[in-house]
Chain A
């Protein structure tokens, strides 16, 4: 994996998604919560980007903002979200829906509550393909290719020969609802195999409550992959799972890297997960990006005092410590956030300028950016 990762990490790599100066606030009864205060990062094609930080630091808000899924009381104050150059913040509701359908897909934290309890899991995957005419050509093409493969291998049954001929004759014409459903189901079963769900034909008709947590998470991953998105936003996908199942899901993600062209944004608070499968890491604190670096660089040379604190607070079995280190203080109240650098009240290295100046994100070493006044700005 390391060699593959280093190939994909070339600095000239094409940027798929770019978030620039994103500011989001929520209007609540208590006041305006400034959840995001200028978030900048970019996602390169094919990479796995880790988005890390404590609960409430704005990771999920960033993801929801990218999909246009923020709640009604949220307001995007400033910024741009560029997906291959087009600004998602300028899209209409329906264009955004199309973007979610085809280009940006989500996997959420808790597979128990995020999958509709009263619909069969298979139908919840297949409905995506059935919902849009745009998938039709893809489905037909895919089925023809599949039949062709079967033909070269073992030959076709007469029914399959007939099916192939009728599909080839179809090409640009409209599929009937029944055959659309059938093709969508075949494709769904295929993706259920891809995410290693056992016995897909049976699981297709099962309901979420009949599946284990790991299987449900695989179902959600299949939902995200079946439309072949450009960016996959995975929000705390391992948090609600047992440790062994976590490992399985992570291994699945790692194995899928080669097979899918999607870039993955892995949102997590678990630095262990980050070190396992991410190429680059974005560290967030209280609505700001504080550090961006390649994963090995970040673990070897953390620059921001917050990142240093985070890494120091991981208990390590090889080093004897009397006490697990922690960052003193708590996550700031975002209704009235600290002035200047939002981390300064908890920072062990603060000096007199910290409360006064908001540090810009500056590139200290190639590919390693940090927002801290210790490094200039």
Chain B
């Protein structure tokens, strides 16, 4: 099978994954709530009972034979469409692009659509998670290699301490400490060295004073800055990511380092390393060409999981650093019954996880010739 055939086949499967997942989330959220909750995001306060009944019928929740809204609200017999029918009604509505208005706290009811709110917030979360993954890989891989080549010596012990503290320290606490240190105590010209976070740094000593104008094309501050050619804005958006990303990556750096260390130690004890050394190759070649290529395989699987883990785990960071991302909103959505927001959040996350797994599988096959797709 060719590579592109494999990728296409996996992408086709993605459609089914999403459908199944959407149905599952629908069943868990809508199936356990009274049917009137289906209207939450579509109803306006001024609607009459008659209008509400028509809305419920249009959304595919109330049957066409339902006599009145009161009958629908009390779930009278023959008034409610069975759940699987509701699901298809919902699917029809959202696929036509109607995700309803957001009912999240902080938004004026009936002004912002759930779809818009999600996609304005999503880039911030994605930037954090991707930044965290890159930082994790950039630190954990060298650290893991050094720990393995100096197993049970000082560098290994040091990295073990870093790793274990990394996943033992609560993120909200560590983020708070970082803020206290870099924003309050380490100051330059009376301002904190690094910004607390938030959508755009407005008061930090090492950033440029005026970020200037940026055309929003993708919603990702970093990418928009590059597209607009606005270097100060780009710099600011990167600096703003430092503290949250470091906090985020702390846990995963430790995990990835230890996994790479153990697979690297394992690889270094294999017979093929003895042969490579017997060939008179330099240590550098033996470690990087012969051992690392084999040791990377398990580490890549974990690196893929890390992105997914960070996408979910970003909620705490968004709270601590006041980042306007989707994680924070998803928590609010679950308490304020913004059910469509939850669905969107779960589905987009699923798409990302499936795509990441696909990339991991392709990389795996590239690194290990024994694996066929």
A interface residues with partner B (beta carbon < 8 Å): 67, 69, 97-102, 105-106, 108, 110, 113-120, 127-128, 131-132, 207, 209, 220, 223, 227
In the bound complex, do residue B278 and residue A105 qualify as a contact, i.e. CB atoms below 8 Å apart?
yes
Residues of B within 8 A of A120 (CB): 369
B59 to chain A, nearest CB (A): 55
Pick the residue among A101, A116, A209 that contacts B272 (CB under 8 A): A116
In the bound complex, do residue A119 and residue B271 qualify as a contact, i.e. CB atoms below 8 Å apart?
no
| In the complex, B157 has a CB within 8 A of chain A | no
Mostly helix, strand, loop or mixed at chain B's interface? helix
| In the complex, B289 has a CB within 8 A of chain A | yes
Question: Among residues 273 to 297 in chain B, which have CB atoms less than 8 Å away from a CB atom of chain A?
Answer: 274-282, 285, 289-290, 293-294
| In the complex, B368 has a CB within 8 A of chain A | yes
Would you give 29 A-B contacts (Cβ < 8 Å), ordered by A?
A67-B278, A69-B274, A97-B281, A99-B280, A100-B277, A100-B278, A100-B279, A100-B280, A102-B280, A105-B278, A106-B278, A108-B278, A110-B271, A113-B271, A114-B272, A115-B272, A116-B275, A116-B276, A117-B370, A118-B293, A118-B367, A118-B369, A118-B370, A119-B293, A127-B285, A128-B281, A131-B281, A131-B282, A227-B280
Residues of A within 8 A of B293 (CB): 116, 118-119
Residues of B within 8 A of A223 (CB): 275, 279
In the bound assembly, the distance between CA atoms of A332 and B275 in angstroms comes to: 29
Residues of A within 8 A of B294 (CB): 116-118
| In the complex, B270 has a CB within 8 A of chain A | yes
Residues of B within 8 A of A101 (CB): 279-281
> Number of contacting residues on B, CB 8 A?
21
In the bound complex, do residue A114 and residue B280 qualify as a contact, i.e. CB atoms below 8 Å apart?
no
A371 to chain B, nearest CB (A): 30
A116, closest chain B residue (CB)? B272
B278, closest chain A residue (CB)? A106
Contacts known (A113-B271, A118-B293); A209 close to B370, Cβ less than 8 A: yes
In the bound assembly, the distance between CA atoms of A114 and B273 in angstroms comes to: 8
Closest 10 CB pairs of A and B: A101-B280, A100-B280, A106-B278, A113-B271, A116-B272, A207-B369, A114-B275, A114-B271, A118-B293, A97-B280
Residue interface bits B361-373, CB-to-A below 8 A is 1, else 0: 0000001111000
Residue interface bits B244-286, CB-to-A below 8 A is 1, else 0: 0000000000000000000000000011101111111110010
Contacts known (A113-B271, A114-B271); A127 close to B370, Cβ less than 8 A: no
